[in-house]
Amino acid sequence: MKATLLVSSLLVATAASAGVRVENVTRNVQTKAPDGPAQVTLIQDGAVKATSGRSNSMIIKANLITIVDDGKKNYMQMTKEDMKKMASQANAAMASVQEKMKNMPPEQRAMMEKMMGNSLPGGLPSDKPDVYDAKNTGKSDTVEGRKCAVWNLSRNGKLFEEVCVVPFKSLPGKDDVEKSFKELAEAFSEFSKNMPSVGNSVQVRSQIDGYPVRSRSYDAAGKLRDTETVLTKWVEESVPASAFEVPKGYTKKEMPKFGK
């Protein structure tokens, strides 16, 4: 869920000159006790920095995307054109794996799926990609003082997440936020479309009319889990330009290449 909310936060970049600070916290539903530090997104003059709440962050500035690992003090960078090339490489690598697995005996294929299923982004290629759907339940709730509409997200007909959303116009940044949400969604779709499970999941979220202020997930048995991720802060504030720069002394690493 944290990864999902990080992606959602990245998609709310805005060109608003005032700057915006967004904070999400994962916590226990009953006790409200937090599970780790807040996930923070900083936005200023079109630049975005989103942290996972631990040691990783992503900076999007103009055409450059920077992934920073504060724990290891290194970073990787790519342009949107690089992202398209990586998407092409990922597509070719997955197509190759799929073709090889078609000719494997059932037992060997099952073993390969078990070994590789968690190591490939979006999972192994499939002849039948998962079908995702988003539905407004017509219900409402109040989260951290914000009245929100409840949406259900399903995969192959089974609920996997419940989100409560508010209109963009109710949040600081308003029109700029919604505009950039769509722009970044389009940028990431070039990469994620080659990974069906990821791409379809990202695409279905674009159907939701608003920003999720709460997200709860379902387990395999269809029961809501005991944790939730909530929006605790969304304020306009001035963000220093240094927040969108790689700290001095960090080592640059090359982006991984698929199929190498």
Residue 65, H or E segment: strand 64-69
The helix/strand/coil state of 251 is strand
CA 118 to chain centre: 17
Domain segments of the chain as ranges: 2-252
pLDDT confidence of residue 3: 47
pLDDT confidence of residue 91: 67
| Contact (Cβ atoms closer than 8 angstroms) between residue 32 and residue 49 | no
Read off the pTM.
Answer: 0.72
73-97 pLDDT per residue, tens? 999 998 877 777 776 777 677 677 7
CATH number of 2-252: 2.50.20.10
| Contact (Cβ atoms closer than 8 angstroms) between residue 23 and residue 12 | no
pLDDT confidence of residue 193: 55
| Contact (Cβ atoms closer than 8 angstroms) between residue 122 and residue 199 | yes
What residues are paired with 60 via a beta bridge? 48, 65
| Contact (Cβ atoms closer than 8 angstroms) between residue 124 and residue 117 | yes
Residue ranges of the chain with per-residue pLDDT less than 50 = 1-7, 9-16, 118-123
Query: How far apart (Å, rounded) are the C-alpha atoms in residues 56 and 250?
Result: 13
| Contact (Cβ atoms closer than 8 angstroms) between residue 206 and residue 9 | no
122-165 pLDDT per residue, tens? 445 555 667 889 999 999 999 999 999 999 999 889 999 999 99
pLDDT confidence of residue 62: 80
- Cα angle vertex 122, ends 119, 128, to 5°? 120
pLDDT confidence of residue 13: 41
